[in-house]
A = this chain, B = another copy of it.
């Protein structure tokens, strides 16, 4: 179904995600999509930059999209809006 590979960036160390992406490109994927929400957005940008500057230097940032997602509140309250980002990396 999904041809492209998606990596969700959360609270793990940046290098974990960098290595996950490098592995996917080395396995032959032509495209990897990074997704992150809220504070992890900054980390996703770090991951993309470190990957293409130091590990897989022949990829480029094809497109970046930002959007807003409505999440259910933790304690049955209303909904909370959270920003999200998608960074498309292609070889």
Q: A interface vs B, CB < 8 Å?
A: 38-42, 45-46, 48-49, 53, 61, 64-68, 81, 83, 85, 87
Q: In the bound complex, do residue B45 and residue A85 qualify as a contact, i.e. CB atoms below 8 Å apart?
A: yes
Contacts A64-B66, A66-B61, A66-B64 hold; do A46 and B83 have CB atoms under 8 A apart?
A: yes
Q: In the bound complex, do residue B83 and residue A45 qualify as a contact, i.e. CB atoms below 8 Å apart?
A: yes
Q: In the bound complex, do residue B41 and residue A83 qualify as a contact, i.e. CB atoms below 8 Å apart?
A: no
Q: How far is the CB of A79 from chain B (nearest CB, A)?
A: 13
Q: In the bound complex, do residue A66 and residue B41 qualify as a contact, i.e. CB atoms below 8 Å apart?
A: no
**Which residues of B sit under 8 angstroms from A46, Cβ to Cβ?**
83
**Which residues of B sit under 8 angstroms from A85, Cβ to Cβ?**
45
